[in-house]
Structure 1
Amino acid sequence: MDKIFPDEIFLQIFQYVPRLDLFRSFYNLNSRLNRIISESNVYLGSVSLNKEEQQYILPYVQPKQIYSFPVFEEEYEYSKLSQCINIRELTFLSGSKEYNVYRYEHPQLIHVVPSIFPYLKSLTIYVQSCSGVYGDLCRMIFGNQFSVLESVYLPYGNNQCVSGIKTWSTNLKDVTIKCCNKSLYYPLLNNLPNILSFHCVFGVDSHGSLKKEYLPLTHIYLGTNDKLPTLFDYGTMAKLGVTIDLLERSPNLERTILFICDYHELGYIIDQLNRVLSNCPKLISFDCHIQHFRENSESINEIKNRYPLFQNCSAHTWTISGGYGACRIQK
């Protein structure tokens, strides 16, 4: 069969063969099939490789074939990452139960530079300690040095991640910062011109403000690392005003998930949300998690029935630790 069909037929067939079956069943049958397999694009995904994939794929796949790869140094070693010049999607995993943000580093992170990965479109790093390598990488990401990078997921960030940037990325559309200090929150939203999806969980508070009157965002997730009951004693990073300020500048919003902590009673908070969300004509869905200090003078049904936006939404309230109130309203 391998003497009858041209290479193009095999390449077409191999597109429909699962990657593990391709290497386990066809590799090393003969030199021609080995050559053809080495010309196919291999997507290894974004989750840990299983034992068979480690056994049958990693030793034989050519670096230039790999278009997506999950780095997982605790489970397996791949010494040719720096040769994978065609990678489009790169994920750094960690399964360590003893993870400590102050002492966890990915040895392979040093290879993530534009000269090695010129076609990188998506980068995910779940955990990583503070280091010079990580700081340099963040400045390359946000400083437009990865020319086609569109999506990033980073474990944390502060103003050091963007210090000294003169030219900001024009390609980034999807940004997630799992622990985002406000010293990074404001520079990102003020300077990334084409960001569409922004997902952040607030960390340390700091002063700042949004400068742009208009933001192109279509998807927003705002969370906080604050926990009750201390948030009302020491202030919160998920203040209602911060959320409202962002929503007012995002008329193209389509979907949002919000975590809000505020001193006001529930009726006032929902009134403010109605004011800004009603001005988002493309809005499809929202999920608002609200924690508030003052006792409600009205029921949740009385509040939401005042506003067409919320009338058909699912909503319920309950009391949490310390006697504070909580509400979730979603569409």
Structure 2
Amino acid sequence: MKFELLPNEIFVECFQYLNAPDIFNSFDRLNYHFHTLIRNSPLHLNFQQFKKSLFNEFCQTILTNPEIKQNIISLQLSNESTCGQIQSFLSLISLNEFIHLRSLSLIDINDENDEQLLSMLSLLSNLDCFSCTCSEYKTLKIISVLTKSKIRMLTVPQFNFNSTSVYKTMSITSLTISNCDLSDLCQLFKYTPMLKYLKCEHFYNSQITDDELNFTNTNIVYLQKLIIDSSSAKFQVLELLLKRISNLKIFSIFAPNVLELIDANRWQHLIESSLPYLHTFNFNFGYYAHHSYNEKLIKFQQFQTDFWHKQHHWYTNYEIEGFTALIYTLPYVWNEYTLTSTMNRYNDSLISYSNEFDNVKNLFLCTKAIKNNSPCFFRNIQSLILIN
């Protein structure tokens, strides 16, 4: 069968994985069939890291083909290294002209965008997903005008949770936040009762206050997936949080330097008493301490009992290098890894993972660790940095 004779449904499905400018550059001039099809298909438009000339070119394409605007369902604009891309775009095209826009991402918003942007955002009643990076003050102003929208997925940096009236009218089910602590989450959960997914990029340790202790009377019944990209919180803080999320099914945490988290018995007690539905527990714990080699081994081997292996099928590898030690679950779910020549790796003997590091995209590799019989295999690397 000839390429152009494939059903339109196949092309429309493929277009969902491509950027709108690439679709137009590839298909617009082939024939009338494709010329018409791409103007009547849902489009994703991502201008992040776009050259100025290509940005201007596709903006002109939109202006000369106004029917394109009604087919754009997701839009990403960025001022990062682009010399005011957001304001340039808004000066040409108003956001409310994208009548079927469902997802909007605005990166590095500055002062010049404020009033114009706020007036446009208030009209995006069909928006389902919104993401922005800007100052705390701007974030609150922007979200306050989105209360009339149908926002379900929200990504924002740190901001003042004391101003929570914004959230009371928003049925957010998915939230990604850059920086927060337990106090922030205590406030947040009061106004997002339907939250199902929460990702904290940086979760900080904090002193336990009366408000946090009272938080134990709160149950977050819909939250099923919690991801903490980087945590400095003590076990007690995490314990207070997790005890209120009794329906949690998936929990991932990276804590590179919190020794007390490497306590298998304490985790087992918490899971058995408070997390009955937890089926996926991804963790990467590390610490730097003058413990003996055997002391490190004993702490890590506690994660290889029947509770971890037979009951939950959670398997771990651990690594020791000098005073540094870490333990992580298999497969390795994080996208960054460092491989050195002096590292001692201990693989779980009960399981063999040929795809152990398939999620790693960024590899820091000590040149002395390069050898023909290396047990580590990285098949999906996008960035490689060699270190001495």
TM-score (ref. length: structure 1) = 0.69
Distance 1:265 1:43, change over 3 A: closer
Match of 2:177 in 1: 177
Distance 1:196 1:115 in 2: 25
Match of 2:103 in 1: 89
Amino acid across the alignment from 1:120: L
**8 Å Cα contact 1:85-1:118 kept in structure 2:** no
Distance 2:45 2:285 in 1: 36
1:53-68 mapped onto 2 (5 Å cutoff): 54-61=55-62, 62=66, 63-68=69-74
Larger helix proportion of the pair: 2
Distance 1:249 1:40, change over 3 A: same
1:216-245 alpha-carbon deviations (Å, 9 max, x no partner): 22211235575xxxxxxxxxxx12112122
Work out the percentage of aligned pairs sharing the same amino acid: 13
- Could you say what secondary structure the match of 2:105 adopts? strand
Deviation at 1:271, TM superposition (A): 1.5
TM-score (ref. length: structure 2) = 0.60
Amino acid across the alignment from 2:151: L
Q: How many residues align?
A: 290
- Give me the CA root mean square deviation: 4.0
1:1-331 mapped onto 2 (5 Å cutoff): 15=12, 19-20=20-21, 23-24=24-25, 26=28, 38-45=39-46, 47-49=48-50, 54-61=55-62, 62=66, 63-73=69-79, 74-75=81-82, 76=85, 77-79=88-90, 80-82=93-95, 83-94=97-108, 105=110, 107-108=112-113, 110=115, 111=117, 115-125=122-132, 127-131=133-137, 133-139=138-144, 145-160=147-162, 162-165=163-166, 167-170=168-171, 172-200=172-200, 201-203=202-204, 205=206, 207=209, 208-209=211-212, 210=215, 211-224=217-230, 226=232, 238-260=233-255, 262=258, 264=260, 266=262, 269-278=263-272, 279-291=275-287, 295=291, 296=295, 299-309=298-308, 313-318=315-320, 326-331=325-330
Task: Determine which structure has greater relative contact order: mean sequence separation of CA pairs < 8 Å that are 6+ residues apart, divided by chain length.
Answer: 1
**8 Å Cα contact 1:20-1:56 kept in structure 2:** no
- Could you say what secondary structure the match of 1:246 adopts? helix
Moved over 6 A (4+): 9-14, 32-36
Distance 2:184 2:242 in 1: 18
1:231-286 alpha-carbon deviations (Å, 9 max, x no partner): xxxxxxx12112122222323323222245656484xx322211233443341342
Distance 1:163 1:120 in 2: 20
Distance 1:329 1:117, change over 3 A: same
Distance 1:190 1:289, change over 3 A: farther
Distance 1:130 1:106 in 2: 13
Amino acid across the alignment from 1:257: S
Distance 2:271 2:259 in 1: 21
**8 Å Cα contact 1:157-1:181 kept in structure 2:** no
Amino acid across the alignment from 1:315: N
Deviation at 1:116, TM superposition (A): 2.1
Gaps of at least 5 residues in structure 2 are 1-5, 331-388
